[in-house]
Amino acid sequence: MEVLWWILVLILFVAGFLGLLIPVLPDAPLLFVGFLLYHFLIDSDALNWPFWVAAVIVTAVTVLVDYVAGGVVARSYGGSRISVLAAVVGAILFPFILGPLGILVGPLVAVVLVELIQRKSWQEALRVGWGTLVGFLGGLFFKGLLMIGMLIWFGILVV
């Protein structure tokens, strides 16, 4: 039965990393569920309390990064307050319209449209949209590094 649990844990880990690219899959939360399954179904002694504290913090940070990275950077590129909200809405809605490509295009298009509606020039709107894309990609890279770090730590404790 332990082999079945390991397969399920590994599937959750893979799904977590796929979640970096597929917006309907929650990335770090799936990794966290994999840790929980390992703890409760395979070995309840391997993962210590510092690991769990870090896992909770990393999961919370990655969820926050998902929703604010693009918007915060858009703001630093001169975007309006509503650009931040547009980036979040674009990141949530466009993947359902365009599939995985929507996660890149959505925040960019949403922010550019909002900036144009606010009567900014094309150049300014595109600059803010570019900032959104840079923020999103930076957030994706950051989340991936955090998740890899947690997985390495998990591997060290389990082996």
- pLDDT tens, residue by residue, 25-65: 889 999 999 999 999 999 999 999 999 999 999 999 988 87
Domain span holding position 73: 2-53+64-158
Does residue 12 belong to any structural domain of this protein?
yes
> Which two structure tokens, joined as six digits, stand for 5?
């649990």
Does residue 115 belong to any structural domain of this protein?
yes
Does residue 59 belong to any structural domain of this protein?
no
pTM reported for the whole predicted model:
0.79
Number of folded domains that form the chain: 1
DSSP state of 101: G
Q: Which of 131, 137, 95, 88 is nearest to 110 (CA)?
A: 88
Does residue 87 belong to any structural domain of this protein?
yes
State pLDDT tens for residues 61-115. 988 877 676 667 767 777 777 887 887 788 788 888 887 788 778 888 998 999 8
Does residue 58 belong to any structural domain of this protein?
no
Q: How many CB atoms neighbour CB 57 within 10 A? A: 12
